Chains A and B, each alone.
Chain A
Amino acid sequence: MRRIQKSVMTAIMAVFAGLILSPIVITFTNSIMTEQEIEMNYGLIGHVGSAVSASAQQFVNLKLLPDLVSIEQYSMLLIQNSKYIAMFWNSVFMVVPIIAGQTLVAALAAYAFSKLRFRGRELLFLVYLFTMLMPYQVTLVPNYMMADQLGLLNHPSSIILPGIFAAFGVFMLRQFMMHIPYDYIEAAKIDGAGHLRIFWSIIAPLIKPGIAGLVILLFVDYWNMVEQPLIFLDDALKQPLSVYLSSINKGALGVAFAASMLYMAPMVLLFLYVEPYFIEGVQLSGIKG
Chain B
Amino acid sequence: MGSEGQVAATEKKRQRTIVILFGLFIGLLMFCTLFSNTLESLTLPKVVTEKALLGSLDYKLEAVVSCGLCPK
Residues of A within 8 A of B (CB): 78-80, 82, 85-86, 88-89, 262, 265-266, 269-270, 272-273, 276
| Interface residues on chain B, size class | 10 to 19
A89 to B22, CA, bound (A): 15
Interface majority SS (helix, strand, loop, mixed), chain B: helix
Q: Does B39 contact A (CB under 8 A)?
A: yes
Q: Does B66 contact A (CB under 8 A)?
A: no
A79 and B32 in contact (CB under 8 A), knowing A265-B25, A269-B25? yes
> How many CB-defined contacts (below 8 Å) exist between A and B?
37
A276 and B29 in contact (CB under 8 A), knowing A78-B36, A82-B36, A266-B22? no
Q: Are B39 and A88 in contact (CB under 8 A)?
A: no
Q: Are A273 and B33 in contact (CB under 8 A)?
A: no
From the candidates B11, B15, B22, B40, name the one contacting A80 in the complex (CB within 8 A): B40
Q: Are B11 and A269 in contact (CB under 8 A)?
A: no
Least distance between A276 CB and chain B CB atoms (Å): 6
Contact with A along B10-42 (1 / 0, CB 8 A): 010011001101100100110011001101100
Kindly report which residue of chain A lies nearest to residue B21, judged by CB atoms: A269
Given A79-B32, A269-B25, 13 additional A-B pairs, CB 8 A: A78-B28, A78-B32, A78-B36, A80-B36, A80-B40, A82-B33, A82-B37, A85-B32, A85-B33, A88-B29, A89-B29, A269-B18, A272-B14
- The 21 listed contacts between A and B (C-beta, < 8 Å) are A78-B32, A78-B36, A79-B32, A79-B36, A79-B40, A82-B36, A85-B33, A85-B36, A88-B29, A89-B29, A265-B25, A266-B22, A266-B25, A269-B22, A270-B22, A272-B14, A272-B18, A273-B15, A273-B19, A273-B22, A276-B11
